[in-house]
C-alpha cells in the first residue's frame, strides 16, 4: 500500500485561542488582568492574557560579570511593538489543577499536551516541578515573561531533524535567558486503542518530525501519515475518538496517560535520536570566577560550561572568518554555529557597483565552551563587539552530560 502524507494542523478536540480543554472536563475560559509581581503563584492558567509592560523588580538579582554588563542588557533588537504581527499570541493551555498554594513546586512551561517529550524534558531538568502545558512555543515564552510560570523548557535541536528554527527566532524576540540545557533520548512507540492490531491500521498520526524519524518502519507497514502539532496530541486524538483504523507515534508515557496499547516500541529508524532542550528564565545565571554553577539540574558534577551568543556582521570578504577567529585565538572551542536571515531586513545591494547582486543580512548563533566568568571569554566578546553590528549573550550555563 503506497504511503501518503497529509497535514491536519490541529485535531478537532483541541481548542486554541479563547478555549481551554481538559482530558476529563472542560472549563470556561475567562480573562485575567496583569498581576502584581509580588504574587508568587496563580491558581490556574487561563486562556488569554492582557498585553502590558512587566518588569522584573523584586525578582532574584544576580551580580553581573565584571566588564560585561552591557552585553546582557536588552537591545533594541529585542523590542517587539504591541501592534507588530510578530507579537506573541496570548497564552493558551489545557486546564490545570484548581489550586496552587504559595511556596509550592517550581512551575515549568513546555509546548504540547501531557505525555509530550517536552514534558519529560521539563521533569528531567527540574525534578518534582509542576509541568505546565502550552499550545505553542510563543505561549511558553510569554508565560515566563508574564510571571505565570517560573521557567520554560523548549527544544532547540534534534540529532536527526536538526535545529528548531522557530525557537532560535523567539530567543531574540523575547528577553529570556538560557540558564541550562537538558538532553533527552527520544524513543517512539506505535500506539493504538486496545483491541486494535497492527494489521487493522490504515493511517498513523504524529508530529511531522516524528513521522520522518519513523519513515522506514511506517513505509513497511503501508501506513499513510497525517501530521499533528505534537506527538502526545496525536495519542490523545486517537484515544478520545476511539479510532480503530488509526494509530499514533508517541511516547510510552503518552500511552499510559491516554489509555492506549503499545503495538511496537522503538519504531524510529535511527536509535541515536536525541533532542536538546533549553531551560529559560527571566534572570540570567552568571557564574562567579571562583565558584562553579549552583543550579537545580539532574546531571553529574562537576559541570562543563557553555555560553550561547547571537551576533550580526557587516557584509564583506573574510568578516565571518574574523568573527570566529576571536575564539580560535583564545583556544575557545565552538560547539555549534547557526545562521538565520535577519528578519525585517530587505535585500541589500552589493557594494560592488559592477556586480549588481543582492544578498541577505544574517544573524549568527554560536555556542562555545567557556564561562562568561573566564577572562578569555570576556576578551573574546570585547574583541567581537568591536566589529559586530549586533551582539547579545543569550546565557552562560552548565552542559548536560547525561541522557535518558
Q: Per-residue pLDDT tens for 263-286?
A: 999 999 988 899 999 999 999 987
Please state which of the ranges 64-68, 143-147, 312-316 shows the lowest mean pLDDT. 64-68
| Grid cell in block for residue 91 | 497564552
Q: Going by DSSP bridges, is the β-strand pair 362-368/5-7 parallel, antiparallel, or unpaired?
A: unpaired
Residue 199, CA distances (Å) to 155, 158, 180, 196, 340 in order:
34, 31, 44, 8, 44
pLDDT per position as a tens digit, 111-156: 999 999 999 999 999 999 999 999 999 999 999 999 999 999 999 9
Q: How far apart (Å, rounded) are the C-alpha atoms in residues 227 and 257?
A: 21
Beta bridge partners of 32: 49
Q: Which residue did the predictor score with more confidence, 74 or 303?
A: 303
pLDDT of residue 30: 28
Number of other residues whose CB lies within 10 A of the CB of residue 116: 27
Determine the average pLDDT of the residues in 245-252: 96
Q: 207: helix, coil or strand?
A: coil
> Does a cis peptide bond (omega within 30 degrees of 0) precede residue 129?
no
What DSSP line would sit under 23-61, residue for residue?
SS------EE-PPPTT----S---SEE-------TTSPP
Residue 90, CA distances (Å) to 31, 81, 136, 211, 300 in order:
10, 15, 10, 29, 37
| CA torsion, ordered 136, 142, 146, 151, to nearest 10 deg | 80
Catalytic residue, chosen from 20, 228, 231, 275, is 275
Please state which of the ranges 42-46, 106-110, 399-403 shows the lowest mean pLDDT. 42-46
Q: Which residue did the predictor score with more confidence, 364 or 12?
A: 364
141 is catalytic: no
| CATH number for the domain formed by residue range(s) 287-398 | 3.30.70.260
72 is catalytic: no
| Grid cell in block for residue 188 | 517512539
pLDDT of residue 125: 94
Number of other residues whose CB lies within 10 A of the CB of residue 146: 20
pTM for this predicted structure = 0.71
Q: Going by DSSP bridges, is the β-strand pair 130-134/107-111 parallel, antiparallel, or unpaired?
A: parallel
- CATH architecture of the region 189-272: 3-Layer(aba) Sandwich (3.40)
Q: Where are the domains of the chain?
A: 1-87, 107-186, 189-272, 287-398
Pick the CATH number of 107-186 from 2.120.10.30, 3.40.50.300, 3.40.109.10, 3.40.190.10: 3.40.190.10
CA nearest neighbour of 179 among 146, 150, 157, 158: 150
Catalytic residue, chosen from 277, 293, 303, 311, is 277
Share of the chain above pLDDT 90, in %: 58
Determine the average pLDDT of the residues in 319-324: 94
Q: Do domains 107-186 and 189-272 have the same CATH topology?
A: yes
pLDDT band at 235, cuts 50/70/90? very high
pLDDT of residue 83: 37
On whether the CB atoms of residues 191 and 238 are closer than 8 A, the answer is: yes
| CA torsion, ordered 277, 283, 288, 293, to nearest 10 deg | -30
On whether the CB atoms of residues 244 and 200 are closer than 8 A, the answer is: yes
Amino acid at each position: 500500500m503506497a504511503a501518503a502524507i497529509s497535514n491536519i494542523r490541529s485535531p478537532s478536540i483541541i481548542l486554541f485561542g479563547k478555549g481551554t480543554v481538559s482530558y476529563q472536563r472542560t472549563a470556561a475560559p475567562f480573562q485575567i488582568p496583569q498581576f502584581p509581581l509580588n504574587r508568587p503563584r496563580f491558581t490556574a492558567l487561563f486562556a488569554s492574557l492582557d498585553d502590558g509592560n512587566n518588569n522584573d523588580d523584586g525578582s532574584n538579582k544576580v551580580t553581573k560579570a565584571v566588564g560585561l554588563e552591557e552585553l546582557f542588557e536588552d537591545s533594541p533588537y529585542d523590542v517587539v511593538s504591541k501592534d507588530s504581527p510578530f507579537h506573541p499570541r496570548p497564552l493558551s493551555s489545557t486546564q490545570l489543577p484548581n489550586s496552587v498554594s504559595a511556596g509550592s513546586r517550581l512551575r515549568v512551561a513546555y509546548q504540547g499536551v501531557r505525555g509530550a517529550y517536552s514534558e519529560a524534558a521539563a521533569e528531567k531538568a527540574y525534578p518534582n516541578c509542576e509541568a505546565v502545558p502550552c499550545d505553542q512555543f510563543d505561549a511558553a515564552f510569554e508565560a515566563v515573561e508574564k510571571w505565570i510560570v517560573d521557567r520554560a523548557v523548549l527544544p532547540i535541536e534534534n540529532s536527526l531533524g536538526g535545529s528548531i528554527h522557530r525557537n532560535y527566532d523567539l530567543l531574540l524576540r523575547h528577553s529570556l535567558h538560557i540558564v541550562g540545557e537538558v538532553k533527552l533520548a527520544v524513543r517512539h512507540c506505535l500506539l493504538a486503542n486496545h483491541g486494535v492490531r497492527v494489521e487493522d491500521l490504515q493511517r498513523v498520526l504524529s508530529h511531522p518530525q516524528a513521522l520522518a524519524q519513523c519513515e522506514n518502519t511506517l513505509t513497511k507497514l503501508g501506513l499513510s501519515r497525517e501530521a499533528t502539532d505534537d506527538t502526545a496530541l496525536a495519542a490523545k486524538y486517537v484515544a478520545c475518538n476511539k479510532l480503530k483504523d488509526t494509530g499514533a507515534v508517541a511516547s510510552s508515557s503518552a500511552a499510559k496517560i491516554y489509555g492506549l496499547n503499545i503495538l511496537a516500541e522503538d519504531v524510529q529508524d535511527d536509535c541515536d535520536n536525541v533532542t536538546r532542550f533549553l531551560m529559560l528564565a527571566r534572570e540570567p545565571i552568571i557564574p562567579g570566577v571562583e565558584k562553579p554553577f549552583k543550579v537545580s539540574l539532574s546531571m553529574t558534577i562537576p559541570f562543563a560550561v557553555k555560553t550561547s551568543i547571537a551576533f550580526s556582521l557587516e557584509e564583506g570578504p573574510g568578516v565571518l572568518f574574523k568573527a570566529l577567529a576571536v575564539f580560535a585565538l583564545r583556544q575557545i572551542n565552538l560547539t555549534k554555529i547557526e545562521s538565520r536571515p535577519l528578519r525585517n531586513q530587505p535585500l541589500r545591494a552589493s557594494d560592488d557597483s559592477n556586480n549588481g547582486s543582492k544578498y541577505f543580512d544574517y544573524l549568527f548563533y554560536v555556542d562555545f565552551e567557556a564561562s562568561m566568568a573566564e577572562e578569555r571569554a570576556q576578551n573574546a566578546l570585547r574583541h567581537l563587539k568591536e566589529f559586530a553590528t549586533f551582539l547579545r549573550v543569550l546565557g552562560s550555563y552548565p552542559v548536560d552530560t547525561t541522557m535518558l
